[in-house]
Chains A and B, each alone.
Chain A
Amino acid sequence: MTENAQATAEVVSAQNISRIFGEGTSGFQALDNISLSIREGQFVSVVGPSGCGKSTLMQIIGGLDAPTRGEVRIDGEPITGPRPDKIGVVFQEALLLPWKTAAENIEFPLSLSGVPPAKRRARAMELLDLVGLVDFAGRFPHELSGGMKQRVAIARGLVRNPRLLLMDEPFGALDEQTRTRMWEELLRVQERSHATILFITHSLVEAVYLADEVLVMASRPGRIVERIVVGLPRPRSLDMLGSERLGKLRNQIWHLIAEPQETNQETRP
């Protein structure tokens, strides 16, 4: 996949992104000089300790927050605000509107931009089929399980056929079993939709298992310390969770994340 990716177009390009909250000496540097590139059809994970600025990075790439320095481009176009036509976002919480059915929730972004009802309903049904929830089109969120709600949220993220699907710890609130099933679901969805995905997580196994490439972040200031090519064959299968390759990568990332913090503690007065 990575070999192929070299030949495909660059979808996301971030150049020297820094984000400082507050002003002057009391300012807090959340991100320091982050650059990354994602090619069409690539699945890239970002993993790092909590507080390393993963979510800030996601918000900047999604146009929901502006960098203090640097620039993000999608298909070569600078991002200066939300771009629902280019970027779909899935959050940790499904954030469905409780007064709308599963289908209506998926349609919601389309309704905001005035797509006619028949057209958007057809699109919602397509996506419900993609995430395996056709029979639940008319159900309200409170009638759906946690995993189902997150699948609706993924479908909603894909509704405008975005160039990039941003996922911010989308399975973080789910239990272990549901999460594992969601991995299968997401891999299947990606295979069928060829979506380009930037996936943020704090789970090392999840980061490696799903992605072509893992960006490892460290905190204070938030920066990318390593770019790891996963190199596991596709399609992925759950057997790979126990594979030597995955275990090795997981440990490698673990040391990258854990060591700087340990040395910090040793040198602390």
Chain B
Amino acid sequence: MEIWIVRAWRLALLAALVVVWEVASRLHWVDPDLLPPLSSIFAMLGTLLRDAAFRSDILVTVVECLTAFVIVVPLGLISGFALGESKRLEKMFGLPLQLLMTVPKSIFLPVFILAFGIGFAEKVIFAVVLTYFIVVPTGIAAVHSVPSGLLLAARSFGATRAQIYARIYLPAVAPIILSGVRLGLIFSVHGIIFAEMYASSEGIGRKILDWGESFDMKRLFAGVLLILVATVILNETMQALEGWLRTRTRFDSKS
């Protein structure tokens, strides 16, 4: 099917959802207290965004997310590179890492709160731990994606170690690294908002929890919508960049 037809269908579906939501609420097919009309939610979002207190909550969340992101991406990728390159490290830490990956990290949140107290450090550390286990495998995959013969070939062309890293490894692993960066960003947001909802005095996660508990559906949906749109845009932008890089750096399985 042609791409514009697919796109047209997707747009139509989205439009239908918007219309059904608006109409269902306005005609009382569903309780408007439970599901307020979409237009009123957008109006509320506008009001919220003009509110300085809410903007400072967003700022808190964004700063936390970026802090976690800036810590976890290099940490995770470098661990992944080391594990991918060294058979010894892989033997030592491969299995424990794999086991920890399967564990839901949320069970550790109360421990972090006890250890670090409620606040910036606790939330960032939780997000870093959650995200670390997602970024590490992309680091390993990046190293493994470069055919080992290529190193030998590069040496035969007279490439220095620096040239091998800069001219072969780096461009070869760029799309996978970007995919690690993308996952790092998304899961940092995930971890921070979760930690805010669990225990926090500020941040958008905290606000969403409050609005939910006080049955303030308009504000609740506005907050949900804001995060939803922001993360989708983030993810899609990075994925598009990644896809563009990937088509340029794919190694064939055969020669």
Contact = CB atoms under 8 A, between A and B. Distances in A.
Contacts of A150: 255
Interface stretch (B55-63, B120-128, B129-137, B156-164): B156-164
B152 A91 contact: yes
A173 B248 contact: no
Contacts of A109: 157-158
A98 B158 contact: no
A97 B255 contact: no
Most buried by B among A99, A142, A149, A156: A99
Contacts of B171: 97, 99
B156 A89 contact: yes
B255 A173 contact: yes
A83 B158 CA distance: 7
Most buried by A among B248, B249, B252, B254: B252
Given A91-B149, A91-B153, A95-B147, A173 B254 contact: yes
Most buried by B among A89, A95, A146, A150: A95
Nearest to A146: B255
Contacts of A95: 147, 149-150, 153, 255
B28 interface: no
B157 A84 contact: yes
A112 B153 CA distance: 13
Contacts of A156: 157
Contacts, number: 68
B24 interface: no
Given A93-B255, A142-B250, A112 B150 contact: no
B149 A93 contact: yes
Given A91-B149, A93-B147, A93-B255, A64 B249 contact: no
Interface string A39-70: 00000000000000000000100101000000
B67 to A, nearest CB: 33
Nearest to A147: B255
B215 interface: no
B249 A112 contact: no
A113 interface: yes
Interface string A107-127: 011001100000000000000
B144 interface: no
Contacts of B250: 98, 142
Nearest to A172: B255
Contacts of B156: 62, 64, 82, 84, 87-89
A173 B254 CA distance: 8
A222 interface: no
B168 A97 contact: yes
B248 A99 contact: yes
Given A94-B255, A142-B250, A89 B153 contact: yes
Given A91-B153, A95-B147, A95-B149, A82 B158 contact: yes
B167 interface: yes
A59 B151 CA distance: 13
A64 B151 CA distance: 11
Contacts of A85: 158
A141 B252 contact: yes
Interface string B234-255: 0000000000000011111011
14 contacts: A64-B155, A82-B155, A87-B156, A91-B152, A95-B149, A97-B171, A98-B172, A98-B250, A98-B252, A109-B157, A112-B159, A112-B167, A142-B252, A146-B254
Given A108-B157, A142-B252, 10 more contacts: A59-B152, A64-B152, A84-B157, A84-B158, A97-B171, A98-B248, A99-B172, A109-B158, A112-B157, A112-B160
Going nearest first, the 10 A-B pairs with the smallest beta carbon separation are A84-B158, A109-B157, A89-B156, A94-B255, A93-B255, A95-B153, A99-B248, A99-B249, A82-B155, A95-B150
Interface of B: 147, 149-150, 152-153, 155-160, 163, 167-168, 171-172, 248-252, 254-255
